[in-house]
Amino acid sequence: MAQVSLKNLKKSYDGKQDVLASINLEIDDGEFVVLVGPSGCGKSTLLRMLSGLEEITSGDLVIDNVRCNDLAPAKRGIAMVFQSYALYPHMNVYKNMAFGLKIHGAGKEEIDRRIKHAAGILKIDHLLHRLPRELSGGQRQRVAIGRAIVREPKLFLFDEPLSNLDAALRVQTRLEIAKLHRDLKATIVYVTHDQVEAMTLGDKIVVMHDGHIQQAGTPLELYQQPANLFVAGFIGSPKMNLIEGVVADAGASGVSVTLAGGQVLRTEVDGSSLKAGDRVTVGIRSEHLWENSNGSEQFTGTVNLVEHLGEANFLYITLSNGQDVVVRGDGEREVAIGDTVSLSAPAASFHVFNHDGKALRRLKPGNMVAAKRVA
Amino acid sequence: MKRFSFWHVVVFLAPAFLIYTVFSAYPLLDTLRQGFYTTSDTGHQSWIGIANYTKLLTDPQWSDGFWNAMKNNVKFFLIHMCIQNPIGLLLAALLSLKGVKGAKAYQTVLFLPTLLSVVIIGFIWQLILSPLWGVSESLMTHVGLGEHFAPWLGQEETALITLALISVWQFVGIPMMLIYASLIAIPEEIIEAAVVEGASPWRIFWTIRLPLILPTLGLVTILTFVGNFNAFDLIYSVKGAIAGPNFSTDILGTYFYRTFFGYQSQVGSPTMGAAVATTMFLIILAGVGVYTFLIQRKLQRHSF
Amino acid sequence: MTKNIGKLSATAFTQLVLALFTLISMFPIVLIIINAFKSRDGIFDNPMALPTSETFSLVGFHKVLDKSPFLHFFENSLIVTVGSLVLILLFAAMAAWALSEYKFKGSRWLAVYLAFGIMVPIRLGTVSILQLAVQFNLVNTLTILVLVYVAQGLPLAIMILSEFMQQIPKELKEAARCDGVGEFKIFFQIILPLIRPAVATVAVFTMVPIWNDLWFPLILAPGEETQTVTLGVQQFIGQYVTDWNAVLASLSLAVAPVLLMYIFASRQLIRGITAGAVK
């Protein structure tokens, strides 16, 4: 098991613009780190730099106190699971798993023992003598993971391993990967573009955009305290509601913001860096806009569209000041298009971003759902 | 709902079917038939069973020439298999490497000779190898091999090999392109998986790439086989129908031609020619049969 | 560092091998062409040199054009090649359409029957083809060459075009049929334009062997009037074998059209091979 640190890692092609700019990241032993971001954000490039498939332009990659920049992939003690599984089509499952071990000169019995063990964990014992094309997508996925497990690597790298599976299988395999991580106590770096995968699997989530790390933290940190507008928009579904406004009054214990239409909103964030007149963006998650008047900040609006999910519904509402918001409402409550509704939210539930898009620290990022009931 | 009529099918298929049948299928079948006939001096044909074939295979007047041509043709084929196809494989492997500068240009030039007429190529090499002109000799002298030069095309021991090498020179582009196409069809991730597992480029080539392109190597083999056992133009243009010196470059194609049209004192015979053509047909059919039923079935095509 | 040196030497090796083979495949052709533009002395004194003002001479070309109807050979080759090509493409496309679109009794057997000609060389039927030509009074005509080449080219063309037609989305044809468009109109106005890229590839594949063939012109149309370039050059060189200027010039003339075509079509051709050959 491994402790990995990335120091000022950079990647550029032919000396042109940086694809990745100065990546700094610490990965603890046994940690499950998810790199997440939209396509083209550099997450796959970063993973391939860890694996050694992509050269590191500058900076240091240190695995267990050994600088690995110039080590061949096989010498880094890593194993990789590819998006397309990349099973060798002409070898059966057993030979697929044995290939890497043979290269490293493992004995016959040792190879056999490791394969049987991995096959047991993944429940693919009965498939060992089949060729990849005779397997279903889910089975191929397991073999690809098995091929990584038998190598007993210090570090597992997963490149969007679930994106070729259908929705139901994806959920199931996700759970299995989580269980595998727990059982093997393995260090894992996992790339995905799917925020649900990221939130459910990661001990630490690294949100990337345009070659930069936007924020790294636990799932809850990202949800409660997104560092900037990009992370705020990327994590959470439906997207966080964002409302433009101007600071009326700011201090360490809260910021008041004047919205379009003149309403003044009180928020509980550390506003010591702001002054009256600054332009800011206020954010509120759809589940924090309540269809009651328990919150301190009050709104009214008209329902444009209702999406019924069963346990909840999404109400698309235009507020009286013309701002469009999404509200996650009680799924079993009858709401009709055209209804006028009153909404409220506690001052503590708001996020505020300055004109650079950076978030101000929320003072009480606690459990808003509980607050809704208590109040 | 029946959305097409009998006439649609007939109109669409008739031209191709008719021309193919009259000028390809029928002549082939008729050739098989004529192999069992003999031609009298007046040109009348009469049935003689397998006599043509026994003559061809056992009567020294015919069989010496036939087996000589057969032996030469096998040699011709083996030279292609041992030199043309490995070189094609080497070039394809190099071209398919990542980031080879000028790969497209190399490909274009290396493939060019395959498009030129075999006749022209034959003449060109005849000139280059000619002791009269001395191009080869002076080139070899430059690299210190001057005394090894010989009029290769004129010597009994070297003429066939030289012709085969000329043919290799011309057609190496075909295996190269076919193998190249199948090499680049292998998904990059499969190769990367092997890299991550620590396989050297050498090992990746032998244990991953090569097994995955075996079907293409099979295809290249059968194409070489059919092409070689049907060859004629090169030998005829360089050495004429006599395939000298002393029949040392005679292959089945030239033997067929001489049998059919005659040469020097021997009178041509369409029926005997048909027997030779039928024999060639059976050889090629056997090759294609072995390929389809044994090799192609065993070699699984991998869909990636 | 050692890794970089290894990589560098591997690149150098690759470039070296490729450059060497490229040189080997270019050399003979270039040698013939540059010497075709030289005087007899220039050809023998220094074969490797480019023509200089002293050695430059077009005497070879003059001789070829004077002593043989070379332009007429070109004309014959062009008529045969283009004629065969047009018929092959049209008939093959029609047959491929019928075979891939209409399922009728025996359509599979018909496809196998037509595919047989891909592997079995038509040359083996020469005895009977010559007899047919005599019977139809077509010996020494370009027509018999065209007919034979069409028969030779059809099988492969049908196979490649069928594969392409199967990839055309069903919806396109069904939409047309729903609009009441007739089958012939569908074929000529919808299908043919769609398979244009495949047609181009097939065209190059089919054209080259026809242009270069020696066997059938030699046997079916050896008369002076109907000689193609390949046969014409072969006969001409046989006759003037000692006149180096003329020989070199005739070879250059014979190579020229293919070289010119390749300069324009090499991209298309190579793409066609790399995309289609794997199947």
How does pLDDT run across B135-177, given as a tens digit for each residue?
Answer: 888 888 888 887 888 888 889 999 999 999 999 999 999 999 9
pLDDT for residue B303 is more than 70: no
Looking at the DSSP assignment, which residues form a beta bridge with residue A299? A343
| Strand ranges (E), chain A | 4-12, 18-27, 32-36, 58-63, 66-67, 78-81, 155-159, 187-192, 204-209, 212-217, 241-251, 254-259, 264-267, 279-284, 297-308, 312-319, 324-330, 340-345, 351-353
**Terminal C-alpha separation, chain B:** 38
> Residue C70 is which amino acid?
F
**Opening angle at CA A67, ends A38 and C4, nearest 5:** 90
Instruction: Tell me whether strands A204-209 and A32-36 are parallel, antiparallel or unpaired.
Output: parallel
Write out pLDDT tens, residues C38-80. 988 888 888 888 888 888 888 889 988 888 898 999 999 999 9
Q: Start-end ranges of CATH 2.40.50.140 in chain A?
A: 238-374
Which CATH topology does A4-231 take? Rossmann fold (3.40.50)
pLDDT tens digits along B167-206: 999 999 999 999 999 999 899 999 999 999 999 888 999 9
Q: Are C168 and C191 in contact (CB under 8 A)?
A: yes
Superfamily of domain B48-298: MetI-like (1.10.3720.10)
Neighbours of chain B (3+ CB pairs under 8 A): A, C
Between A and B, how many CB-CB pairs are < 8 A? 66
Interface test with A, best of B98, B197, B205 (most A CBs within 10 A): B197
pLDDT at C72: 93
Contacts of C1 in chain A (CB under 8 A): 70
Span A225-238, pLDDT tens digits:
999 999 999 998 88
CA distance B218 to chain A (A): 16
Q: Which of C168, C207, C201, C183 is nearest to C94 (CA)?
A: C183
From B59's Cα to the closest Cα of chain C, the distance in A is 22
Contacts of A82 in chain B (CB under 8 A): 189, 192-193
Does B202 touch chain A if contact means CB atoms closer than 8 Å? no
- What tokens does B4 get? 């097409």
Percent of chain B with pLDDT over 70: 97
The whole-number pLDDT of residue C279 equals 43
Integer Cα distance of A7 and C228 in angstroms:
72
Q: Which of C125, C255, C275 sits opposite B120 (nearest CB)?
A: C255
Domains of chain C listed by start with CATH number = 2-57 (no CATH), 62-276 (1.10.3720.10)
Q: What is the pLDDT of residue A15?
A: 67
- pLDDT band for position C278 (cuts 50, 70, 90): very low
Which has the closest alpha carbon to C144: C57, C218, C33, C37? Answer: C218
Please state the rounded mean pLDDT for residues A287-299.
Answer: 88
Q: Hey, are the CB atoms on B198 and A82 less than 8 Å from each other?
A: no
ipTM: 0.89
Given the structure tokens 């069963």, which residue do they identify?
Answer: A310
- Would you kindly state where each structural domain of chain B is located, as residue ranges? 48-298
Residues carrying CATH 3.40.50.300, chain A? 4-231
Chains in contact with A via at least 3 Cβ–Cβ pairs below 8 Å: B, C
CA–CA min distance A72, chain C (Å): 9
A238-374 under CATH 2.40.50.140, yes or no: yes
Nearest CA in chain A to C4: A70
Q: What is the pLDDT, as a whole number, of residue C1? A: 44
pLDDT digits (tens, 9 = 90+) for A4-53: 999 999 998 876 778 888 899 999 999 999 999 998 899 999 999 999 99
